[in-house]
């Protein structure tokens, strides 16, 4: 505890204090007649009083060292323990910060991996969507092509029917005109055969088209 010494340290410092007082008292009291020979009795008293004052000062200094400074080892020990405790707390905080940093790094790495997976998945979805759109467009083109071909065939059939009707009408009119012109039977046969031949050619050309 700060400010209180252990019993052992107090005993040690007390021993040194008593020993120092004994040495000082012996040095002060043993030779009170050490005043200079030429000095009078008043100077001898002053000399003795000065030694007593010096003794008192030294005693006070020793007391201060024992009572005040004697507590320094315990205070230093307490300070050392406090410093060690703070160092331990700092070490624990550093370890906690490093662990937190490692956790953040791991989360960032996981986030980076997740973003990479999302990017690859998005690219795969985009490719699939493009392929689907291309397939649908190709199918639509084929459907329109078939519809156009069917429409062309229908238009060709209609045109052939129109031509055939026109030829038939023309032949009928020609036959009617020939009959009215009093042609011979041989002429009638030739004209009819010619008309039938043209009609047959028209049908043949329509089938090939």
Encode pLDDT of 189-205 as tens digits. Answer: 777 777 777 777 766 66
Element (H, E) at 188: helix 185-208
Among the residue ranges 63-72, 84-93, 186-195, the one predicted with the least confidence is: 63-72
The Cα 204–Cα 208 span in angstroms is: 6
| Burial class of residue 55, CB neighbours in 10 A (0-12, 13-18, 19+) | middle
Going by C-alpha positions, the residue among 153, 159, 198 that lies closest to residue 175 is 198
C-alpha separations of 150 from 153, 186, 203, 207 in Å: 5, 45, 20, 15
Which sign, positive or negative, has the C-alpha torsion 145, 146, 149, 150?
negative
- Domain boundaries along the sequence of the chain: 7-67, 151-208
- pLDDT tens column, 18-43: 566 555 555 544 444 544 445 455 55
Share of the chain above pLDDT 70, in %: 53
Give the pLDDT band of residue 74 (cuts 50, 70, 90): low
């Amino acid at each position: 505890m700060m400010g209180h010494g252990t019993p052992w340290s107090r005993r040690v410092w007390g021993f040194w204090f008593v020993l120092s007082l004994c040495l000082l008292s012996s040095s002060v009291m043993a030779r009170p007649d050490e005043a200079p020979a030429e000095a009078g009795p008043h100077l001898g008293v002053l000399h003795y009083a000065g030694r007593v004052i010096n003794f008192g000062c030294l005693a006070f200094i020793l007391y201060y060292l024992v009572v005040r400074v004697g507590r320094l080892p315990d205070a230093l020990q307490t300070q050392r323990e406090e410093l060690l405790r703070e160092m331990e707390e700092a070490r624990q905080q550093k370890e906690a910060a490093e662990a937190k940093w490692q956790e953040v790094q791991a989360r960032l790495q996981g986030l980076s991996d997740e973003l990479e997976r999302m990017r690859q998945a998005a690219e795969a979805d985009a490719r699939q969507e493009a392929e689907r759109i291309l397939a649908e467009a190709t199918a639509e083109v084929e459907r329109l092509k078939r519809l156009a071909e069917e429409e062309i065939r229908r238009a060709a059939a209609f045109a052939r029917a129109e031509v055939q009707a026109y030829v038939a009408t023309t032949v009928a009119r020609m036959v009617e005109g020939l009959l009215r012109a009093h042609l011979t039977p041989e002429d009638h046969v030739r004209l009819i055969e010619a008309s039938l031949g043209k009609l047959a050619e028209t049908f043949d050309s329509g089938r090939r088209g």
